[in-house]
Amino acid sequence: MKKTVFTGSAVAIITPMYPDGSVNYEELNRLVDFQIENGTDAIVACGTTGESATLGDEEHVSVIKAVVDRANGRVPVIAGAGSNDTAYAVWLSREASDLGADALLHVSPYYNKTSQTGLVRHFNAIADATDLPVILYNVPSRTGVNILPETYKELAKHPNIVATKEANGNISAVAQTAALCGEELTIYSGNDDQIVPLLALGGKGVISVLANVAPKQTHQICQLFFEGKTAESTALQLKMLPLINALFSDVNPIPVKEAMNMMGFAAGSCRLPLDSLSESNYLKLAAQMKAAGLMK
């Protein structure tokens, strides 16, 4: 059986920014401490929520280094290193490995896309590049590419490909993947509104946007389930659903950064082309943050 990178809730941490758009590393350190102090089980740096798409090469590497250094071994740090250019993904993976990341997160190639055989070659080339465990990321709504269960079965043969963050929203496909791969591939939910369903299919946790604002609750959804308290876990999942929906009222991470600002963190704004939250969605988000007891 392959080693599990983490069990429970991993936060897809935001990248806080100053008003001029530069990275606010001081606030990033504060956010890492906040997450660890509130029960988060792992931290993903430079994922979609961390605005990896608009970070320059030096910034991307620097953000990973900052999170690794601040976490200082307290929880695993998973470095987002995905790209639609295999050679670049290999380079970034090696950089993350040199910086001390514990694992890599690799999204399927976007825009230029690829076939299922292309996915196998792409991810195997990445997995060959370092000794780090690789977590795949399937989010067809953003990439236009869906990793099929049969493709997961082939990819799971690589010793370094250990898990997937599954965000295709198709529970039946997740069940098929679990049946085909068994213990060779850990499954994490990539959708905050589907944590319990994926845990019920044998999943080991979630890579979460919600955890940015509610790390204790997101960890608890998982922990309660693992303790056999499935009714309590489900109840908490459903209790958080209105907030989850508000956090996805616009393109991620627009709402979650605004929510962090509401909590008193200096999250700043997103870089263009991501725009600010509309007034109506801001009011909906503020209402749910207040209802959850999270608004400062």
Closest CA to 257 of 45, 49, 40: 49
Classify 5 as helix, strand or coil.
coil
Radius of gyration of the chain from its Cα atoms, rounded to whole angstroms: 18
Q: Which residues 6+ apart lie within 8 Å of 52 measured at CB?
A: 46, 60, 80, 82
Catalytic residue check, 113: no
Q: In this structure, how many other beta carbons lie within 10 angstroms of the beta carbon of residue 141?
A: 9
- Classify residue 182 by its DSSP letter: G
CA 58 to centroid of chain Cα atoms:
21
Which of 65, 110, 113, 137 is labelled catalytic?
137
Q: E strands along 122-278, which residues?
A: 134-138, 161-166, 186-189, 205-208
Give the angle 191-195-196 at the CA atoms, nearest 5°.
Answer: 150
CB-side exposure of 2: number of CA atoms within 13 Å? Answer: 24
Catalytic residue among 165, 188, 257, 282: 165
Q: 157 catalytic, yes or no?
A: no
How far apart CA 55 and CA 79 sit, in angstroms, is 13
- Active-site positions? 137, 165
